[in-house]
Structure 1
Amino acid sequence: MSAQILDGKKVAESVRSEWKARADKLVRSGIKPGLAVIIVGNNTASAIYVRNKIKACSDIGIYSEVHSFPEHATQDEALDCIQSLNENSHIHGILVQLPLPAHFENNRVITSIATEKDVDGFHLYNVGALVTGNTVFSPCTPYGVMVMLKKNHILIEGQHAVVVGRSNIVGKPMAFMLLEQGATVTICTSKTADLAQFTRSADILVVATGKPRMITAKMVKPGAVVVDVGINRLSDGRLCGDVDFESVKEIASYITPVPGGVGPMTITMLLCNTILAAERAQASVK
């Protein structure tokens, strides 16, 4: 029997509905949640992502503004913009769209964002605080995965979770968040020797490697929950994940599709974090 589909669009709609009510409450009290996005260069994919985020903000009742810089802009120009936004009481969340041009230092730019406005959860403080479970904001993609699992009543505590991928954006924070919820966690990479030995032992398998369809059915434990964070464009223009969906869905208990799985949850959690930032800002002035 085929796996049940973890429908990210459906879960995202439910979550957005809940948080829109919170945004509306803020607006009624005189505060409109505000998100500022900084984009540097002319990366086509980044431009699309930013447009999607701005549209999502509009749909849920968040004010948004975009600060665009040309490819040749200096890092100091971006830092000055961030500093101004840090001091702007109408902006509750600041997001720097990655990747940045090669002459930028990612960590310096990200850590210049005030921690209370780091709604992407990429500030070194937030990433480090995952170890103790005390982040100001959780990174949006792994946060979205956790919400998706919870909304589908998938047991995490006591389960063996295997995360394939070690990025600071997904892999590492994903592992800590699963650990915080009581899972036994193994972290692997695409270079792990005999990777299948580890993935076949997973009750929950999260894959974020950027390698199309690298996880096949023979690498998955029957009945496992499979979360595919990857999104890759094939030579024919089609999108696919890091998991071979067609074969794996026949043995998994739950599986996320690509597209329509984790992607909608990532943007949704960005919106939630922005609304939460506005709520905290309101509370701090009372």
Structure 2
Amino acid sequence: MTDTGNAVLMSGTDVARAITDRTAQRAAQFAEKTGRKPCLATVLVGDDPASETYVRMKRNRCAKVGIESKHVPLPASTTTAQLVELITDLSNDPAVNGILLQHPVPAHIDERAAFEAIAPGKDVDGVTMHSFADMAFGGKGFASCTPAGIMRILDAYDVDPRGKHAVVIGRSPILGKPMGMLLLARDATVTYCHSKTQDLPSIVRTADIVVAAVGRPEFVRGEWIKPGAVVLDAGYNEGNVGDVAFDEAAVRAGLITPVPGGVGPTTIAVLLEQTVDAAFEQRA
């Protein structure tokens, strides 16, 4: 733990390292038993620089833990039908254990249709409706990686959500919505906030746990934070800036994640872990 202002810094890098160390051991066990490495297919449509960077980072992490990375780059002109066909082929390929469609995709593509082409057993990024429903009902499906990574950070720093008021700022289907469901499953009282929420600062001031997932730099101000609250910043904006005004919030929070080095590393670590889980499940 590191003190920053009055808050203790929650290192996602440290949490992620523990996850990836275990994942590397399990990947090696899989390779020993089967003669091949677990395989993650990454699909990137277009040439968005940020997306290219994210995919490159994920492929590098795959190599470090003993996961094979099958990268499929597609031109920005790719149609929804072409993308769905490709993902369906990957879903039917027994050599592929997990599928990651880097998002966002170009605006002309129906992203939801593309996500739904991923076989549930290979949805290691937790983006399909099947995975969301399974997670919401406490099933064994794969969780959305960023919310799952946030839960791992809370566990690593002994933050029990039970009975606490958690405010999730953002309602995207792969971050905000599943984040609230995971907290609800751990007996938190959850409030979702979004662009139509009235008097957002007042609501945030009542939160014991704040998850910021809006994609707007330094949107959550320090004065919104209840003294001693746990603040998890799931935003990543240009210039390595999160969705929380970090310096302001750190003065009031009890625990806080940095950007970078907070939520991001755990997201990738959970992706790798779930890829190896998928490989073992498909072999069973």
Indicate yes or no: 2:126 matched with 1:130.
Answer: no
- Alignment partner of 2:137: what SS? coil
Q: Hey, what's the Cα distance between the residues in 1 that align with 2:38 and 2:60?
A: 14
Matched, 1:41 2:46: yes
- Contact persistence 2:171–2:193 (CA under 8 A): yes
**Aligned residue type for 1:123:** T
Distance 2:268 2:110 in 1: 24
Provide the rounded CA distance (Å) in 2 between the counterparts of 1:203 and 1:103: 40
CA contact (8 A) 2:80 2:113 kept: no
TM-superposed deviation, 1:135: 4.9
**Which residue number corresponds to residue 108 of structure 1?**
113
Q: 1:8 aligns to what? A: 12
Task: Indicate the SS of the match to 1:176.
Answer: helix
Letter in 1 for 2:247: E
**Cα offset, 1:158, TM superposition:** 1.2
CA distance in 2 between partners of 1:52 and 1:191 (Å): 35
Cα deviations by residue, 1:126-147 (Å, 9 ceiling, x for unpaired): 1233331225100000000001
> Unaligned stretches of 5+ in structure 2?
none
Query: Could you tell me how far 1:80 is from its partner in structure 2?
Result: 2.3
Alignment root-mean-square deviation, CA: 1.2
Partner of 1:23: 27
Q: 1:156 aligns with which of 161, 164, 169?
A: 161
* Equivalent in 91, 94, 106 of residue 96 of structure 2: 91
2:85 is aligned with 1:80: yes
1:187 pairs with 2:188 = no
Give the unaligned 5+ runs of structure 1: none
- Identity over aligned pairs, percent: 41
The residue identity in structure 2 corresponding to 1:25 is: Q
Per-residue CA shift, 1:142-179, capped at 9, x if unaligned?
00000111111111111111111111111110000000
1:260 and 2:265 equivalent? Answer: no
Which whole-Å CA distance do the structure 1 matches of 2:198 and 2:54 have between them?
A: 34
Partners of 1:162 and 1:187 within 8 A in 2: yes
**8 Å Cα contact 2:180-2:192 kept in structure 1:** yes
Q: Give the secondary-structure state (helix, strand or coil) at the position aligned to 1:130.
A: helix
Contact 1:127 1:135 in 2 (8 A): no
Aligned-partner Cα distance in 1 for 2:15–2:206: 27
Choose which of 42, 51, 57 in structure 2 pairs with 1:52.
57
Residue 15 of structure 1 and its aligned partner are, at CA, apart by: 1.0
Query: How many residues are paired up?
Result: 279
Residue 72 of structure 1 and its aligned partner are, at CA, apart by 1.2
